[in-house]
Structure 1
Amino acid sequence: MPSGGSFDDSEDDRLRREAMAWLTIRTNDGADPLSYLDIEDFRFADEGIILRNRYTGIWKPRQLEAALSITTTYSLPGSKPPYEDAIHSDGRIRYKWRQSKSEAKRRDDADLADNRALREAMRLKKPLIWFHGVGPGLYQAIFPVFLVAEEPELKQFVVATDGTQDIPVAPASVAEEALREYVERTTLARVHQPVFRSMVMRAYETRCAVCELKHGQLLDAAHIVPDSHANGIAAVTNGLALCKIHHSAFDARILGIDPDYTVHIRPDLLEEIDGPMLRYGLQERHGQKLMAVPKIRSERPDRRRLESSFERFLAG
Structure 2
Amino acid sequence: MDAALSITTTFRAPGADRPYEDSPGPDGLLRYKWQGTDPLHPNNRALREAMERRVPLIWFWGVAPGVYKPIYPVFLVGEESEAHQFVVATDGLQNLEATGAGVDEVLRRYLFQQTRARLHQPVFRSIVMRAYETSCAVCQLRHAALLDAAHIVEDSHEDGIAAARNGLALCKIHHAAYDTGILGVTPDLHVEIRGDILDEVDGPILEHGLKRLHGQALRVVPRHARERPAPELLAQHYESFVSATVPRAARVDLGFDGRGTTVHGR
**TM-score for the superposition, normalised by structure 1:** 0.73
1:91-122 per-position Cα deviation (integer Å, ceiling 9, x unaligned) = 211111112xxxxxxxx532322112212221
Gaps in structure 2 of 5+ consecutive residues:
245-266
Answering whether residue 22 of structure 2 is matched by residue 85 of structure 1, we say yes
Task: Show the counterpart of 1:131.
Answer: 60
CA distance in 2, matches of 1:298, 1:89: 32
1:135-177 per-position Cα deviation (integer Å, ceiling 9, x unaligned) = 2222211112111112223221110012333334333x44212
**Where do 1:28-67 residues align within 5 Å?**
64-67=1-4
- Partner of residue 197 from structure 1, selected from 125, 133, 138: 125
CA distance in 2, matches of 1:75, 1:177: 32
1:172-230 per-position Cα deviation (integer Å, ceiling 9, x unaligned) = x4421222222223223322111111111111011001111111111111111112222
CA distance in 1, matches of 2:97, 2:17: 37
CA contact (8 A) 1:77 1:237 kept: no
Answering whether residue 215 of structure 2 is matched by residue 287 of structure 1, we say yes
CA contact (8 A) 1:130 1:143 kept: yes
CA distance in 2, matches of 1:125, 1:263: 50
Instruction: Give the aligned residue type for 2:95.
Output: D
DSSP 3-state at the match of 1:246: helix
Task: Show the counterpart of 1:154.
Answer: 83
Q: Tell me the number of residue pairs that the alignment of Structure 1 and Structure 2 aligns.
A: 244
Task: Show the counterpart of 2:250.
Answer: none
CA distance in 2, matches of 1:127, 1:257: 42
Report sequence identity in percent: 57
Task: Show the counterpart of 1:237.
Answer: 165
**Where do 1:112-131 residues align within 5 Å?**
112-131=41-60
1:36-62 per-position Cα deviation (integer Å, ceiling 9, x unaligned) = xxxxxxxxxxxxxxxxxxxxxxxxxxx
CA distance in 1, matches of 2:89, 2:216: 44
Answering whether residue 181 of structure 2 is matched by residue 253 of structure 1, we say yes
Answering whether residue 8 of structure 2 is matched by residue 68 of structure 1, we say no
Task: Show the counterpart of 1:97.
Answer: 34
CA distance in 2, matches of 1:175, 1:209: 44
CA contact (8 A) 1:76 1:298 kept: no
CA distance in 2, matches of 1:260, 1:295: 16
Instruction: Give the aligned residue type for 1:68.
Output: L
CA distance in 2, matches of 1:196, 1:89: 23
CA distance in 2, matches of 1:87, 1:223: 21
CA distance in 1, matches of 2:236, 2:104: 34
Task: Show the counterpart of 1:43.
Answer: none
CA distance in 2, matches of 1:241, 1:91: 29
